[in-house]
Amino acid sequence: MDVTERDALIAVDIQVDFLEGGALGVAEGSRILPIVNRLMPLFRHVALTRDWHPPDHLSFTENPAYRDRSWPAHCVQSTPGAGFAPGLLIPTHAFTVSKGTHVDREEYSSFQAMEADLTGWLRARGVVRVFLAGLATDYCVRFTALDAARQGFQVCVIEDAVRGVAPQTVEEAWHEMGAAGVRRIHSRELLHGPAGARSDAMPAGVD
């Protein structure tokens, strides 16, 4: 499978708080980093999404308004846990999508972010197909993939470049995405040979 200028990589929420030991850590989350770093140089268009929550976001356990579906506080704006994973090679031209930025709004899908127009950014660059990697398969990857399909993009989720929260919901996510026309692929279908880091990439957390 060849990557063209009409393709984009969307790296979903590869943040400190979603790695092992983080506030909302996903098991084996850090294992996707080498794969994502090898994928980055293949794409001219790269979007990195992130949870970027205010301290009193409605999805946090401490907030009684959302107690039925709450999470531990995570990815609070401008805290270390909200940073991109150390060692993640980020192209300088990457488009950053911050979501969940308002206290009263949850946004699992990167296409629902109020402060970034991911659809418009992709369309302006002539993108017709998107490839997804990141965390977590059963939440933000899932809903981003479903919305991408609804927007008319061809969608591929790279199975070895994602990790999920729980086996049952991961299985449900793959089923739902497949029913929506999302393709499940392996990184080896894209990586035909060794790929070096592009010259305009730098590790997250390095100035």
Domain boundaries, the chain: 7-195
pLDDT at 128 over 50: yes
Local structure of 145: helix, strand or coil: helix
The H or E element spanning position 31 is none
pLDDT at 14 over 70: yes
Cα–Cα distance measured from residue 161 to residue 16, given in angstroms and rounded to the nearest whole number: 16
Q: Which pLDDT tens digit goes with each residue over 155-193?
A: 999 999 999 999 999 999 999 999 999 999 999 999 974
Going by pLDDT thresholds of 50, 70 and 90, the confidence category of residue 100 is confident
pLDDT at 23 over 90: no
CATH class of 7-195: alpha beta
Look over the chain and give the mean of its residue pLDDT values, rounded to a whole number: 89
Q: What average pLDDT does this structure show over 201-206?
A: 57
In the chain, at which residue ranges do the beta strands (DSSP E only) sit? 7-12, 45-51, 89-91, 95-99, 129-135, 154-163, 183-185, 201-203
Tokens of 136: 């977590």
- The DSSP secondary-structure symbol of 114 reads T
Q: What average pLDDT does this structure show over 90-99?
A: 95
Instruction: Show which residues are catalytic.
Output: 13, 99, 140
Q: Which neighbouring-strand residues pair with 90?
A: 202
Going by pLDDT thresholds of 50, 70 and 90, the confidence category of residue 194 is very low
Could you tell me which of 97, 147, 152 has the C-alpha nearest to residue 127? 152
Question: CA quadruple 73, 78, 79, 82: dihedral positive or negative?
Answer: positive
Lowest mean pLDDT across 20-34, 53-67, 70-84, 153-167: 53-67
Residue 199's pLDDT is 42
Residue 193's pLDDT is 46
At a CB cut-off of 8 Å and minimum separation 6, what does 159 contact?
184, 185, 186
pLDDT at 91 over 80: yes
Cα–Cα distance measured from residue 80 to residue 94, given in angstroms and rounded to the nearest whole number: 20
Q: What percent of the chain has pLDDT over 90?
A: 74
- The DSSP secondary-structure symbol of 206 reads -
Q: What burial class does residue 175 get, using C-beta atoms within 10 Å of its C-beta: 0-12 exposed, 13-18 middle, 19+ buried?
A: exposed
At a CB cut-off of 8 Å and minimum separation 6, what does 7 contact?
43, 45, 127, 128, 129, 130, 131
Could you tell me which of 83, 57, 61, 80 has the C-alpha nearest to residue 70? 61
